[in-house]
Amino acid sequence: MSSHLTTHILDSSTGAPAPDVAVRLSTASGSEIAAASTNDDGRAALGPERLDAGDYTLTFATGPYFAARGVDAFYPHVTVTFTVEVGDDGTSRHYHVPLLLSPFAYSTYRGS
């Protein structure tokens, strides 16, 4: 089985992937679907093979990541809310939600 959703975290303050960041996938109402930690390349796969249409959140535990490195940071966690769309045939594309992270800023986008 493959995950319908993947993520990748790049720590822009070091120019390197962010390993060992806990990531949680939940429904918009807060029910947890899956949890993982990023690997040495800053990547994680979460969730089932298919997600239903609707709104979801990814929560990245950024505070512990920076604390483990002795770096003061402004955001203890980053939560990204996004919408999964399902076509009339019941299928949807793979979802990749990357996070570009620094101790005092972040950005995200719909990846491929």
User: Tokens at residue 11, please?
Assistant: 């720590």
Q: Look at residue 3 and tell me whether its pLDDT is greater than 70.
A: no
pLDDT at 6 over 90: yes
**Distance between CA atoms of residues 66 and 74, nearest Å:** 10
Give the pair of three-digit tokens for residue 26.
């939940």
Q: Would you say residue 112 lies in a domain? A: no
pLDDT bracket for residue 35 (50, 70, 90): very high
Residue 17 counted as domain residue: yes
pLDDT of residue 87: 83
3-state helix, strand, coil in the chain (%, to 5): 5, 45, 50
The per-type count for the chain, helices as H runs and strands as E runs, is 1, 10
Average pLDDT over residues 44-55: 90
Query: What is the residue range of 12's domain?
Result: 5-104
Q: What is the CATH number of the domain that holds 59?
A: 2.60.40.180
Please list the alpha-helical segments (H only) found in 13-75: 62-67
Q: Examine residue 110 and state whether it is found in any structural domain, yes or no.
A: no
Pairing of strands 16-17, 78-84: unpaired
Count structural domains, the chain. 1
Answer for the pair 35, 25: CB distance below 8 angstroms, yes or no. Answer: yes
Asked, for residue 111, whether it belongs to a domain, the answer is: no
Coil, helix or strand for 37?
strand
DSSP for 6-35, please give it: EEEEEETTTTEE--S-EEEEEETTS-EEEE
> How many beta carbons lie within 10 A of that of residue 7, not counting itself?
25
- Does the pLDDT of residue 53 top 60, yes or no? yes
- Asked if residue 96 has pLDDT above 80, the reply is yes
- Look at residue 28 and tell me if it is in a domain: yes
